[in-house]
Structure 1
Amino acid sequence: MQFFSCEALDFLQNLRENNTKEWFLAHRDQYERLILEPSKEFVTEMGAELQVLVPNIRAIPKINHSLFRIYRDIRLSKDKTPMKSRIGIVFWRGSGKRLQSSSFYIHFSPDELLVASGIRGFSKDSLEGYRNYIKDENHARSLQAIMHMLKGKGFAFPEPRYKRYPRGFEKDDPFAYLSLYAAMFAFKRLDPKTICSDRLNEILFEIYQDLLPLFEWIYEMSLTFEITDPKGKSLSL
């Protein structure tokens, strides 16, 4: 089933070249027809299919749920362009904040379709919980095996952000390098026109099926701590 036409990519390219609120408001009908309404339909249909992999996955076709606002938060950004020229969609498990929960994610732009799973930026609480979790050698070994398996299937991971090992990790520990990550997710980049395919759901389902071991590892890890500060900055991709 085709959800998005390739006109959606043309719209995003035009938005990138005319990134003002005035231009967007003048073309808002195109945004709703080419992006917003197809996104809602996609979330509903893809969410139903993902129930096979994760029976209680959250797929809510609303802004600030599975859909993201197209307006950028520019308050603390040097980039003052007001609109996003890529469209993100997320499916997550659990009652916590969507970006601090185990999730399946996509975004598409004129440049790429990116498919991912995990947490794209740990909050302070999530980072502490993650590090405590991997102090258990069994958990760390399991994550390492999942990462190795996914890299063998063409997935990539973010580079470690931190240079110094945190307290409780020693340099000669074979799993200590895992403590240097500021996020834990795997991703794969596809041709942007994949978003226009009538096989989109099938393509994504196969990728998410490959990512399921990481999704489940992240979910089990997230059950071991509580988040009091849900803010975590997603790594730029």
Structure 2
Amino acid sequence: MFSSQTFDFLAELTANNRRDWFVANQARYEALVREPALEFIAAMAPHLTRFAPHFRAEAKKAGGSLMRVFRDTRFSRDKSPYKTNVGIHFRHALGKDVHAPGYYVHLAADGCFLGVGCWHPEPVALGRLREAIAERPEQWFKVRNDPLFAASFALSGDSLTRLPRGYAADHPAREDLKRKDFIAIAPLVFDEVVAPELPAIVAQRFTAATPLMTFLCSALGVPA
């Protein structure tokens, strides 16, 4: 699967983020990045069937779980054409994009991590998530503070500075109701990424997030 050469390539891409360099090194990208990523995705499929049967591991070069290497530069001052990380998103079967509930793997030369949850959910979905927390704060706290989950993951993402309209200022979950992202992050160290057991390691950590994913999916009205 992944090796130290994967990260060497990503570091080189960071230093040479140009189309001419990438085209000249595309065979290396295929051998050191894309093929190992697709192998990893395929190996994750049976694990997801066990703990997250409604989430998909699709080992395809395009349109599957592996995110594109090409950056969308239309609205960015940074016009670098390529992403310098490997992004893998196991999204819900009913989801259409990265904003759907999902499990995420991020590999880069400057650090690796796992992510779970809903990143930048659309307004309607965001409202449903907040309503679920507002109506069932004790259940949310139980999920958020679950010892197995908290041992690996920490809640992350963007938040509002003020409480959204319609919620009491003294609501027990007022800080969580400010969230614009409902995601959690777990670190992944280099030795784990290059280990043959990587799929089992990732699956074990993702399994610890089952209570969170179940709560989020329930709030959105989709099966977990």
Q: What's the TM-score once normalised by structure 1's chain length?
A: 0.86
Letter in 2 for 1:147: R
How far 1:12 sits from its partner (Å)?
A: 0.2
Q: Which residue of structure 1 aligns with residue 40 of structure 2?
A: 42
How far 1:159 sits from its partner (Å)?
A: 5.2
The answer (yes or no) to whether the contact 2:117–2:212 under 8 Å persists in 1 is: yes
Q: Which residue of structure 1 aligns with residue 139 of structure 2?
A: 142
Q: How many pairs are equivalent?
A: 220
Runs of 4+ in 1 over 4 A off after TM superposition: none
Q: Which residue of structure 2 aligns with residue 229 of structure 1?
A: none
List runs of 5+ in structure 1 lacking aligned partners: 225-237
Kindly indicate whether residue 194 of structure 2 is the aligned counterpart of residue 191 of structure 1. Answer: no
How far 1:67 sits from its partner (Å)?
A: 1.0
The within-5 A match list for 1:221-232 is 221-223=219-221
How far 1:45 sits from its partner (Å)?
A: 1.3
Q: Which residue of structure 2 aligns with residue 9 of structure 1?
A: 7
Aligned partners of 1:77 and 1:185: how far apart in 2? 24
Q: Which residue of structure 2 aligns with residue 232 of structure 1?
A: none
Aligned partners of 2:207 and 2:18: how far apart in 1? 39
- Please report the RMSD computed on the Cα atoms of aligned residues, expressed in angstroms: 1.7
The secondary structure found in structure 1 opposite 2:166 is: coil
Q: Which residue of structure 2 aligns with residue 77 of structure 1?
A: 76
How far 1:134 sits from its partner (Å)?
A: 2.3
Q: Which residue of structure 2 aligns with residue 97 of structure 1?
A: 96
The within-5 A match list for 1:47-196 is 47-62=45-60, 63-136=62-135, 138=136, 140-149=137-146, 152-158=150-156, 160-196=158-194
**Aligned residues with identical type, % of pairs:** 28
Q: Which residue of structure 2 aligns with residue 231 of structure 1?
A: none
The answer (yes or no) to whether the contact 1:156–1:187 under 8 Å persists in 2 is: yes
- The higher-RCO structure (CA 8 Å, 6+ apart) is 1
List runs of 5+ in structure 2 lacking aligned partners: none
**Residue 160 to residue 170, structure 1, CA distance change in 2 (3 Å):** farther
The answer (yes or no) to whether the contact 2:114–2:185 under 8 Å persists in 1 is: yes
The answer (yes or no) to whether the contact 1:58–1:91 under 8 Å persists in 2 is: yes
